[in-house]
Amino acid sequence: MSEQSHLFPTYARFPITLVKGKGSRLWDNTGKQYLDFMSGLAVTNLGHAPDAVKDALVSQLDELWHVGNLFHIPNQEKLAKLLTDNSCADRVFLCNSGAEANEAAIKLARRYHSKVLGTGKYEIITFDMSFHGRTLATLTATGQDKVKDGFYPLPEGFVYAPFNDADALKGFITDKTCAIMLEMVQGEGGVNPASEPFVQEVVRLCKEHDLLLIVDEIQTGMGRTGKLFAYEHYGIEPDIFTLAKGIASGFPMGAMLGKEKLAAAFTPGAHATTFGGTPIATATAVATIELMLEQKLAQRAEQVGNKLIAELNARLAGNPLLKQVRGKGLLIGVELTVPAAEVIPALHEAGLLVIPAGPNVVRLLPNLLVTEEELEEGISLMNQVLTEKAKAAAGTNA
C-alpha cells in the first residue's frame, strides 16, 4: 500500500493486510496464518471460499451478470421461495446491504400505515444500544449517539426505549407510533440477547396498538444464533424482518421480508434498487442457503456455540479480566473488566482474529462449519492471552 492512501479514513483499521482465505483460515501479506473467529462480521458463515458457493458463482459468471429489475430474474424467485418456505414471511424485497434492507423496512412500515391503513402514523420505536445501519434513516434508528455525530439534522420519526425493559416500553407508544424495531441479540451493542418476557411484551403491545413488529436480523440471521432466524428462539412471527451479512457468503446482498398484507404497500414504483437481486448475487445466495439447510448448520451452530460458551467459562474461570460470557449460537460476547482494545491486538498477534462489540466486549463469530480442533485452538488462544494479560496487570498493580 502506498504511503499516502487515497481512501477516506473512515475505518480505524487493524495493522493487518489479509490477502487469502479458506475455511476458518486467513493469511496476511507476510504469509502469517490466522484462525478466523470474526467471519467478516458474521458474513462468511460457511467459511471463506466454500466450494459449493464458488461453483455456483463461477457458473453464473459464464451466463449473465446484470439486466436490471425491469425484467424477470429466475434466481430471484428461487431465492425468495427458499426464504419464505423456511420462515414466517410471504414476500421478499432484494437489495445490497443491511442498511438498505433496514431502510426498506422503515419505508414499508410507514407506507403501510399511510397507504393501506390510512392512519398517517410514522414513528418507530427502537432501543438504546441498538445498531441498524449507516444511512441517514438507519443511523437515526440506531440507539447510539456516536454514529450520529456530525450528521444533524437527522430525520424525525424515531424514539428510543430501554432495551429489555418491558415495563418502560409501553410509555413510549403514542398516537404517532407505527412500528417497533429490535434486534433479538444486540451485536454492535455488546452481544446482549433480548429476554423472553421482554420479547413477549413487545409482541403483545404490537397487537394491542396495531403496530408492525420489525426484527433486524442483519447479524443474527442465516443460522448465526442457532436458528435460521433468531426470532425463532422466541416462538414469534415478526411482520417484517431483515437479512444481509451471511446470506451470500461474502457477496453483497440484503433482503427485507414481510407478511402478505404488506404487499399492498409496496406496489410498482414505491421502492426500487438498481443492483438488488442481480443474477450473480441471487445465484450465490441460493447456493449459500441450500448448503445451510442441507447440512443443518443452524442446529450445528447452536450445539457448537453452547460448547464454546461452556468451555470458555470453564477455562477462564477465576481470571480477573473476565466478567461474563454470553450470546446465542455462534454470536458470542466475552465481556471483560478492561477495554477490549487492550486485549484484541494481543489476540491478533497470537493468531486469533476477533473484533470488539462495544467498549469492553470481545466478539466471537466463528463460521458455522468450524471444526472441533479449530474451536479448541481458539479457546486455548483466548485463555493464553487473557492469562498473560491478567498476570501483567497483577504485576503492574503489585
Q: Give the per-residue pLDDT at 348.
A: 98
**Max Cα distance, the chain (Å):** 71
How large a percentage of the chain has pLDDT more than 70? 99
CA 182 – CA 142 distance, rounded (Å): 10
Mean pLDDT of the chain: 97
Confidence bin at 4 (pLDDT 50/70/90): confident
Confidence bin at 2 (pLDDT 50/70/90): very low
Q: pTM of this prediction?
A: 0.96
Whether the Cβ atoms of residue 356 and residue 362 lie closer than 8 Å to each other:
yes
Cell of residue 112, nine digits: 403501510
Region(s) of the chain under CATH 3.90.1150.10? 18-49+297-397
- pLDDT tens, position by position, 197-229: 999 999 999 999 999 999 999 999 999 999 999
Q: Give the per-residue pLDDT at 72.
A: 96
pLDDT at 398 over 70: no
Beta strand pairing call for 158-161 and 25-28:
unpaired
pLDDT at 18 over 60: yes
Calculate mean pLDDT across residues 241-246.
98
Q: Which residues face 355 on adjacent strands? A: 363
Region(s) of the chain under CATH 3.40.640.10? 51-294
Whether the Cβ atoms of residue 178 and residue 123 lie closer than 8 Å to each other:
yes
CA 68 – CA 71 distance, rounded (Å): 6
Confidence bin at 76 (pLDDT 50/70/90): very high
Calculate mean pLDDT across residues 318-334.
97
Q: Give the per-residue pLDDT at 395.
A: 79
CATH 1.10.357.10 correct for 18-49+297-397: no
Q: At what angle do helices 297-316 and 279-294 cross, to 10 degrees?
A: 70
SS (H, E, C) the chain: CCCCCCCCCCCCCCCCCEEEEEECEEEECCCCEEEECCHHHHCCCCCECCHHHHHHHHHHHCCCCCCCCCCCCHHHHHHHHHHHHCCCCCEEEEECCHHHHHHHHHHHHHHHHHHHCCCCCCEEEEEECCCCCCCHHHHHHCECHHHCCCCCCCCCCEEEECCCCHHHHHHHCCCCEEEEEECCEECCCCCEECCHHHHHHHHHHHHHHCCEEEEECCCCCCCCCCCCCHHHHHCCCCCEEEECHHHHCCCCCEEEEECHHHHHCCCCCCCCCCCCCCHHHHHHHHHHHHHHHHCCHHHHHHHHHHHHHHHHHHHHCCCCCEEEEEEECCEEEEEECCCHHHCHHHHHHHCEECEECCCCEEEECCCCCCCHHHHHHHHHHHHHHHHHHHHHHHHHHC
Q: Give the per-residue pLDDT at 335.
A: 98
How large a percentage of the chain has pLDDT more than 90? 97
CATH number for the region 51-294 comes to 3.40.640.10
